[in-house]
Homo-oligomer: A and B are copies of this chain.
Amino acid sequence: MLEISNLSHVYGSGPGAHHAIEGLNLSVAEGELLCIVGPSGAGKSTLLRSIAGLIQPTGGEVRIEGKLVKQTPDNLAVVFQDYSRSLFPWMSVADNVALPLRRKKMDKQQRRAAAQEALESVGLAEAGKKYPFQLSGGMQQRVAIARALAYRPALMLMDEPFGSVDAQTREDLEDLVLQVRGHHKMTIVLITHDIDESVYVGDRVVVLSKAPAHVVGDLKVELASPRDQITTREHSDFVHLRAEVGRLVRGLERTPA
């Protein structure tokens, strides 16, 4: 589904240039849920933007279903790390969620129903009429997730999607993503800082180095599906994997800047 070969990205030029990614290779199979972990400032968001075609990487290439990504590919959704700035302040929450659905063959009523359903699934059934600024940080983040889920993309990119919600909600959302993935055959790339989470939701966990980012670890997660917050996390394989990812992440030197 997704093929990244020898990807590099440099921000700026001259002496102030910053090498965010260098020679990164990665491929994701159809229907896979890939978790990416890595130190802050590594280049994870940069990688995600390259996959989404939002920046043109300075080297290497990204292919989706064999096609070189030059512009944003069709049938893709992104949950941005900076969710509060990715919600449109001039629209109600429901309109924000329904907006991308205009690209689908749906009439107004269907769009509205789909938006409402997605909002319900993230626990915001009653927030549709509000404006984003009237919501708490975690609620805004959930709106951004609902927007991506409602879109039902073939490829979903999520950049720390559960960073601002409480533990209980976080677990619910993790399960929601797994469930939606199961129903709708999505391929998902999810960036997270929570090692437990990466193992719990991922089919595979990729560990990135500090900047310039490249892959330093690639672990297959062989845990039974459907997963369960209590039993899966108790499973010895889970504990083992989690420790291994932890070691990989900790093994990296601290990023200087």
> Which residues on A are within 8 Å of B, measured CB to CB?
11-12, 18, 37-45, 81-82, 84-85, 123-127, 134-139, 142, 159-160, 163-170, 172, 193-195, 246, 249-250, 252, 254-257
Contact = CB atoms under 8 A, between A and B. Distances in A.
A142 B256 CA distance: 13
A85 B166 CA distance: 21
Could you say which of A84, A165, A167 has the most chain B C-beta atoms within 10 Å of its C-beta?
A167
Given A137-B82, A137-B160, A163-B164, A123 B256 contact: yes
A102 B39 CA distance: 33
A124 B257 CA distance: 5
B138 A166 contact: no
A-B pairs with lowest CB-CB distance, top 3: A40-B138, A126-B257, A81-B137
Contact of A137 (B45, B142, B257): B45
B40 A81 contact: no
Contact of A167 (B41, B134, B164, B193): B193
B142 A170 contact: no
A14 B47 CA distance: 47
Given A85-B84, A137-B160, A193 B172 contact: no
Residue with the highest number of chain B CB atoms closer than 10 Å, among A11, A126, A160, A168: A168
Contacts of A167: 37, 193-195, 246, 249
Contacts of A257: 123-127, 139
B166 A123 contact: no
Contacts of A125: 256-257
B39 A168 contact: yes
A41 B245 CA distance: 32
Nearest to A211: B136
A134 B123 CA distance: 34
Given A166-B249, A169-B39, A45 B254 contact: no
A241 to B, nearest CB: 14
Residue with the greatest number of chain B CB neighbours at <10 A, chosen from A40, A123, A136: A40
A169 B40 contact: yes
B81 A82 contact: no
Contacts of A82: 84, 137
Nearest to A252: B168
Nearest to A80: B137
A199 B157 CA distance: 32
B256 A126 contact: yes
Given A82-B84, A123-B255, 15 more contacts: A37-B166, A38-B166, A40-B137, A42-B136, A44-B136, A82-B137, A123-B256, A123-B257, A126-B257, A163-B163, A163-B164, A164-B193, A168-B249, A168-B250, A172-B254
